[in-house]
Structure 1
Amino acid sequence: MPEEPSDETVVQVASEAAEGVVLSRYRQADLTDFDVTVTFEDGVLDVDVYVNPPADAEPDAEAVADEAARAAGDAVDDLFEE
């Protein structure tokens, strides 16, 4: 039976996936601020993504944050399937 990934690995994989989505949609220099917070406790993944791009930036910050959170969840699902 394969060994379960550590909580630290889960958090790292989720964080990298979420940050990757944000940085693929906006140039880092254009972002006023962005933050990705990930916790994994008792088998529950919690991902919070905050994006503050310039006012006229496309795509919409909320849509990018949602996409980043989904990507984090998908990356963790893939990690557990390995």
Structure 2
Amino acid sequence: MRTPSTGREIFLEAEPNTVYRDRETGEELEVLGKVLPLAPSKSKLPWAVENLRFCPWCDQLAQKDLNDCPTCGRRMAPAS
């Protein structure tokens, strides 16, 4: 969430239909985005840049320890 006048941002777990205000200015905070849960995965690696690779078939990201792409289901080459 962001305070429009100052640009100050905070990250918090928000409740639906609740108005949040900046503690310093009293302005209503605007929502910038949502954090969505990831789909279940067979991978044991955290979803981080150093653990991802692109599927050669659909060009979507997948964890390096997966054999099959979670998006298109096709077999990927061994990770190097």
Task: Answer 1 or 2: higher relative contact order, Cα 8 Å, separation at least 6.
Answer: 1
TM-score band w.r.t. shorter chain? under 0.3
Between structures 1 and 2, the one with greater helix share: 1
TM-score under structure 2 length normalisation? 0.25
Between structures 1 and 2, the one with greater strand share: 1
Higher-Rg member (1/2): 2
